[in-house]
Amino acid sequence: MAFELSAETLSYIEKTIPRYPQKRSAIMMILHAIQKEKGLLSLEAQEWVAEKLDLAPIQVREVVTFYPFYREKPIGKRHIRVCRTLSCALNGGYKVCDAFKKEFHTELDEISPDGRVTVEFAECLASCGTAPVAMVDDQLYENLNEEQVAAICEQIKKETPAADTAGSKS
Protein backbone atom coordinates (compact mmCIF):
# COMPACT_ATOMS: atom_id res chain seq x y z
CA MET A 1 0.00 0.00 0.00
CA ALA A 2 1.26 3.49 -0.83
CA PHE A 3 2.54 5.60 2.02
CA GLU A 4 -0.18 7.95 3.21
CA LEU A 5 -0.36 10.83 5.65
CA SER A 6 -3.28 12.66 7.21
CA ALA A 7 -4.49 15.88 5.59
CA GLU A 8 -3.28 17.76 8.66
CA THR A 9 0.30 16.46 8.43
CA LEU A 10 0.38 16.98 4.68
CA SER A 11 -0.78 20.55 5.06
CA TYR A 12 1.88 21.17 7.73
CA ILE A 13 4.55 19.78 5.40
CA GLU A 14 3.38 21.89 2.45
CA LYS A 15 3.52 25.01 4.62
CA THR A 16 6.87 24.14 6.18
CA ILE A 17 8.95 23.51 3.05
CA PRO A 18 8.74 27.07 1.63
CA ARG A 19 9.94 28.51 4.95
CA TYR A 20 13.44 27.28 4.17
CA PRO A 21 15.77 28.70 1.51
CA GLN A 22 16.46 25.15 0.35
CA LYS A 23 13.87 22.36 0.39
CA ARG A 24 16.28 19.91 2.00
CA SER A 25 16.60 22.10 5.09
CA ALA A 26 13.03 21.21 6.06
CA ILE A 27 13.99 17.57 6.57
CA MET A 28 14.04 17.50 10.36
CA MET A 29 10.71 19.28 10.75
CA ILE A 30 9.10 16.92 8.25
CA LEU A 31 10.53 13.83 9.91
CA HIS A 32 9.24 15.03 13.29
CA ALA A 33 5.77 15.59 11.85
CA ILE A 34 5.64 12.15 10.28
CA GLN A 35 6.95 10.44 13.40
CA LYS A 36 4.36 12.28 15.47
CA GLU A 37 1.59 10.90 13.26
CA LYS A 38 2.92 7.40 12.63
CA GLY A 39 4.93 6.76 15.80
CA LEU A 40 8.00 5.81 13.76
CA LEU A 41 9.79 6.47 10.47
CA SER A 42 9.39 3.45 8.21
CA LEU A 43 11.50 2.97 5.10
CA GLU A 44 8.42 3.93 3.08
CA ALA A 45 8.19 7.18 5.03
CA GLN A 46 11.87 7.88 4.46
CA GLU A 47 11.49 7.27 0.73
CA TRP A 48 8.48 9.56 0.65
CA VAL A 49 10.47 12.34 2.35
CA ALA A 50 13.38 11.83 -0.05
CA GLU A 51 11.10 12.25 -3.03
CA LYS A 52 9.41 15.27 -1.49
CA LEU A 53 12.72 17.04 -0.85
CA ASP A 54 14.57 15.91 -4.00
CA LEU A 55 17.03 13.87 -1.97
CA ALA A 56 18.37 10.35 -2.31
CA PRO A 57 16.74 7.94 0.19
CA ILE A 58 20.16 7.33 1.79
CA GLN A 59 20.42 11.03 2.67
CA VAL A 60 17.17 10.80 4.63
CA ARG A 61 18.26 7.57 6.26
CA GLU A 62 21.51 9.18 7.39
CA VAL A 63 19.52 11.81 9.28
CA VAL A 64 17.09 9.27 10.76
CA THR A 65 19.84 7.01 12.04
CA PHE A 66 22.09 9.85 13.28
CA TYR A 67 19.64 11.49 15.70
CA PRO A 68 18.47 9.37 18.65
CA PHE A 69 15.02 10.97 18.75
CA TYR A 70 14.03 9.45 15.42
CA ARG A 71 12.68 5.90 15.54
CA GLU A 72 12.48 3.16 12.94
CA LYS A 73 10.90 0.65 15.35
CA PRO A 74 7.49 0.91 17.04
CA ILE A 75 7.41 1.78 20.73
CA GLY A 76 4.87 1.49 23.54
CA LYS A 77 2.12 4.05 24.02
CA ARG A 78 4.29 6.08 26.39
CA HIS A 79 7.96 6.79 25.82
CA ILE A 80 10.17 6.81 28.91
CA ARG A 81 13.69 8.13 28.45
CA VAL A 82 16.10 7.98 31.39
CA CYS A 83 19.25 10.09 31.27
CA ARG A 84 22.47 8.15 31.65
CA THR A 85 24.99 10.94 31.17
CA LEU A 86 27.47 11.76 33.95
CA SER A 87 25.45 13.76 36.51
CA CYS A 88 22.49 11.43 36.22
CA ALA A 89 24.63 8.29 36.16
CA LEU A 90 26.42 9.39 39.34
CA ASN A 91 23.15 10.28 41.07
CA GLY A 92 21.27 7.05 40.48
CA GLY A 93 20.12 7.20 36.85
CA TYR A 94 20.74 3.48 36.37
CA LYS A 95 18.67 2.61 39.44
CA VAL A 96 15.90 4.86 38.15
CA CYS A 97 15.97 3.04 34.83
CA ASP A 98 15.85 -0.35 36.56
CA ALA A 99 12.86 0.83 38.61
CA PHE A 100 10.94 1.81 35.46
CA LYS A 101 11.77 -1.53 33.83
CA LYS A 102 10.68 -3.45 36.92
CA GLU A 103 7.36 -1.60 37.19
CA PHE A 104 6.46 -2.55 33.63
CA HIS A 105 8.17 -5.99 33.57
CA THR A 106 10.12 -4.93 30.53
CA GLU A 107 13.61 -4.69 29.10
CA LEU A 108 15.41 -1.69 27.70
CA ASP A 109 14.29 -0.61 24.21
CA GLU A 110 11.43 -3.14 24.16
CA ILE A 111 7.67 -2.59 24.20
CA SER A 112 6.43 -3.65 27.64
CA PRO A 113 4.19 -6.76 27.66
CA ASP A 114 1.12 -4.58 28.36
CA GLY A 115 2.02 -2.29 25.43
CA ARG A 116 2.03 0.75 27.66
CA VAL A 117 5.66 1.84 27.56
CA THR A 118 9.09 1.61 26.04
CA VAL A 119 11.96 2.45 28.38
CA GLU A 120 15.15 3.77 26.84
CA PHE A 121 18.33 5.46 27.95
CA ALA A 122 18.93 8.97 26.68
CA GLU A 123 21.94 11.22 26.70
CA CYS A 124 21.94 14.48 28.67
CA LEU A 125 18.43 15.93 28.89
CA ALA A 126 19.79 19.37 29.82
CA SER A 127 18.77 19.25 33.46
CA CYS A 128 22.03 18.09 35.04
CA GLY A 129 21.51 20.21 38.19
CA THR A 130 18.43 18.17 39.10
CA ALA A 131 19.87 14.74 38.32
CA PRO A 132 18.74 12.06 37.99
CA VAL A 133 16.07 12.94 35.46
CA ALA A 134 13.80 11.17 33.02
CA MET A 135 11.22 12.18 30.45
CA VAL A 136 7.85 10.56 29.90
CA ASP A 137 6.88 11.72 26.42
CA ASP A 138 7.43 15.51 26.66
CA GLN A 139 7.27 15.78 30.45
CA LEU A 140 10.51 16.09 32.43
CA TYR A 141 10.78 14.54 35.92
CA GLU A 142 13.63 15.70 38.14
CA ASN A 143 15.48 14.53 41.28
CA LEU A 144 14.08 11.05 40.82
CA ASN A 145 14.26 8.18 43.26
CA GLU A 146 12.60 4.78 43.26
CA GLU A 147 9.53 5.98 45.19
CA GLN A 148 8.92 8.76 42.70
CA VAL A 149 9.33 6.34 39.82
CA ALA A 150 6.68 4.11 41.41
CA ALA A 151 4.30 7.09 41.63
CA ILE A 152 4.95 8.07 37.99
CA CYS A 153 4.35 4.49 36.86
CA GLU A 154 1.10 4.32 38.81
CA GLN A 155 -0.02 7.49 37.04
CA ILE A 156 0.94 6.07 33.64
CA LYS A 157 -1.02 2.89 34.36
CA LYS A 158 -4.07 4.95 35.33
CA GLU A 159 -3.92 7.17 32.25
CA THR A 160 -2.85 4.63 29.65
CA PRO A 161 -4.93 1.54 28.94
CA ALA A 162 -3.00 -1.64 28.27
CA ALA A 163 -2.81 -2.50 24.59
CA ASP A 164 -4.52 -5.60 23.21
CA THR A 165 -1.35 -6.24 21.28
CA ALA A 166 2.08 -4.74 21.87
CA GLY A 167 3.24 -2.11 19.39
CA SER A 168 -0.19 -0.67 18.77
CA LYS A 169 1.33 2.78 18.11
CA SER A 170 2.78 1.79 14.75
Quote the least distance from Cβ 84 to ligand FES, whole Å.
Answer: 8
Cα angle 104-110-116, degrees, rounded to a multiple of 5: 45
State which of residues 125, 136, 149, 153 lies at the interface with ligand FES (CB under 6 A). 125
4 SS3 class: coil
Q: Contact between 46 and ligand FES (CB under 6 A)?
A: no
State which of residues 16, 35, 42, 87 lies at the interface with ligand FES (CB under 6 A). 87
Residue in 27, 25, 12, 133 with CA at minimum distance from that of residue 80: 133
Q: Which is nearer to ligand FES, 34 or 88 (CB)?
A: 88
From the list 13-21, 40-48, 78-86, 152-160, the region that binds ligand FES by CB under 6 A is 78-86
State which of residues 5, 29, 63, 128 lies at the interface with ligand FES (CB under 6 A). 128
b/e for 82-104, b at 16 or more Cβ within 10 A? bbbbebbeebbbeebbbbbbebb
Q: Which is nearer to ligand FES, 46 or 91 (CB)?
A: 91
161 SS3 class: coil
118 SS3 class: strand
Residues at the interface with ligand FES (CB under 6 A): 83, 85-88, 124-128, 131, 133
